[in-house]
């Protein structure tokens, strides 16, 4: 696959769950009508971002991978339109719950499950209340329109996520997201930082990056004082981190861009960043405090 037409989307969600799904489907149809082959929807697009609060009633929203009506509906849609759809959903697996993603290929097959690796916990982002840390490892999928590497929201802040996906052969990095205002830090606007972090992943790995966020204000069901405004700003950037397309903060819609994956792959080869890696020097990454590498150097210097 050389030329890829890729789209990213953003929309507001409410507790009218049918409306959320209908909106998402219409965005997919609109993108496909404009020639998109891979279409990215935002994190947990079927519901409001219920992690704004801690309330066990929201566990009822979870669906099993093989029995999810949401996944079936959008897999059928992918087959009908001949497009590839990365799909973020709330997964129940036995007694465990995960923030998960699958890819519906252009023939409607679901290609497997990725479970979000990094689970945040902050005021307004109470994901540890609902999700266990992912146990699948990072995933890269061969789809009808390219080799797709995926992470989910908080994953996108970690350079290890992007580098692992790059080493696994991803041709494009996809990050569905739910991020906006910070109820615990009212003066913080992380939009530019959020974008720059992912654009850095693109430049460091010489891979294009696509992010989808949500828009609108959402209010906790148990406390109307707890609310968040999501800042949209979904974007597509090239393999050097340059913005190719960017959505607004408040308006739903979609972005479409053509990427020359073959030309980007050739440029990756010319840089030698994978050739010159030194994995044996990265032991500090294997622990939480970096002490492995310090202990090694102290022993050698004694």
Tens digits of residue pLDDT in 236-268: 999 999 999 999 999 999 999 999 999 999 999
Name the H helices within the chain: 17-33, 69-81, 159-167, 191-205, 261-271, 291-301
Please choose, from the candidates 38, 22, 282, the residue with its C-alpha nearest in 3D space to the C-alpha of residue 12: 22
Catalytic residue list: 43, 116, 153
Query: CA-CA distances (angstroms) from residue 223 to 46, 92, 220, 252, 262?
Result: 22, 26, 5, 26, 51
Strand partners, 103: 86
Residues 8 and 40: beta-carbon distance below 8 Å: yes
Q: What pLDDT does residue 302 have?
A: 40
Q: What pLDDT does residue 186 have?
A: 87
Q: Show the tokens assigned to 47.
A: 């519901």
Q: Show the tokens assigned to 113.
A: 């499950």
Q: Show the tokens assigned to 219.
A: 């209010």
Q: What pLDDT does residue 93 have?
A: 98
How does strand 172-176 pair with strand 146-150? parallel
pLDDT tens column, 3-58: 999 999 999 999 999 999 999 999 999 999 999 999 999 999 999 999 999 999 99
Q: What pLDDT does residue 1 have?
A: 59
Task: Tally Cβ neighbours within 10 Å of residue 199.
Answer: 19
Q: What pLDDT does residue 301 have?
A: 45
Q: What pLDDT does residue 293 have?
A: 57
Residues in the chain where the model's pLDDT stays below 70:
1, 292-302
Residues 173 and 147: beta-carbon distance below 8 Å: no
Helix, strand, coil fractions of the chain, as percent rounded to 5: 35, 25, 40
Residues 146 and 106: beta-carbon distance below 8 Å: no
- Interatomic CA distance for residues 251 and 201, integer angstroms: 26
Q: What pLDDT does residue 298 have?
A: 52
Query: CA-CA distances (angstroms) from residue 273 to 167, 267, 282?
Result: 11, 11, 15
The pTM of this model reads: 0.95
Domains recognised in the chain with CATH numbers? 3-277 (3.60.110.10)
Residues 22 and 16: beta-carbon distance below 8 Å: no
Residues 173 and 202: beta-carbon distance below 8 Å: yes
- Interatomic CA distance for residues 28 and 38, integer angstroms: 9
Please choose, from the candidates 246, 230, 125, 129, the residue with its C-alpha nearest in 3D space to the C-alpha of residue 196: 246
């Amino acid at each position: 696959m050389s030329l890829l037409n890729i789209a990213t989307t953003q929309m507001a969600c409410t507790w009218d769950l049918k409306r959320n799904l209908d909106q998402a489907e219409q965005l997919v149809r609109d993108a496909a009508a404009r020639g998109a082959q891979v279409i990215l929807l935002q994190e947990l697009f079927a519901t409001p971002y219920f992690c704004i609060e801690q309330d066990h009633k929201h566990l009822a929203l979870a669906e099993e991978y093989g029995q999810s009506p949401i996944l079936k509906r959008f897999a059928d849609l992918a087959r009908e339109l001949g497009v590839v759809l990365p799909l973020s959903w709330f997964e129940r697996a036995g007694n465990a719950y995960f923030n998960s993603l699958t890819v519906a290929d252009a023939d409607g097959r679901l290609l497997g499950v990725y479970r979000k690796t990094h689970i945040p916990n902050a005021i307004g982002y109470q994901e540890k209340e609902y999700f266990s840390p992912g146990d699948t490892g990072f995933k890269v999928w061969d789809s009808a329109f390219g080799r797709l590497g995926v992470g989910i929201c908080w994953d996108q802040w970690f350079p290890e996520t992007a580098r692992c996906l790059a080493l696994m052969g991803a041709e494009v990095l996809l990050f569905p997201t739910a991020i906006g205002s910070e109820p615990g830090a009212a003066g913080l606007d992380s939009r530019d930082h959020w974008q720059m972090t992912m654009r850095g992943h693109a430049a460091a790995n010489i891979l294009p990056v696509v992010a989808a966020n949500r828009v609108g204000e959402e209010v906790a069901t148990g406390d109307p004082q707890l609310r968040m405004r999501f800042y949209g700003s979904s974007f597509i950037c090239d393999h050097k981190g340059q913005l190719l397309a960017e959505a607004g903060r408040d308006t739903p819609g979609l972005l479409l861009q053509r990427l020359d994956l073959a030309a980007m792959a050739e440029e990756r080869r010319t840089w030698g960043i994978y050739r010159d890696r030194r994995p044996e020097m990265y032991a500090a990454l294997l622990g939480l405090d970096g002490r492995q590498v310090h202990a090694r150097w102290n022993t050698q210097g004694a």
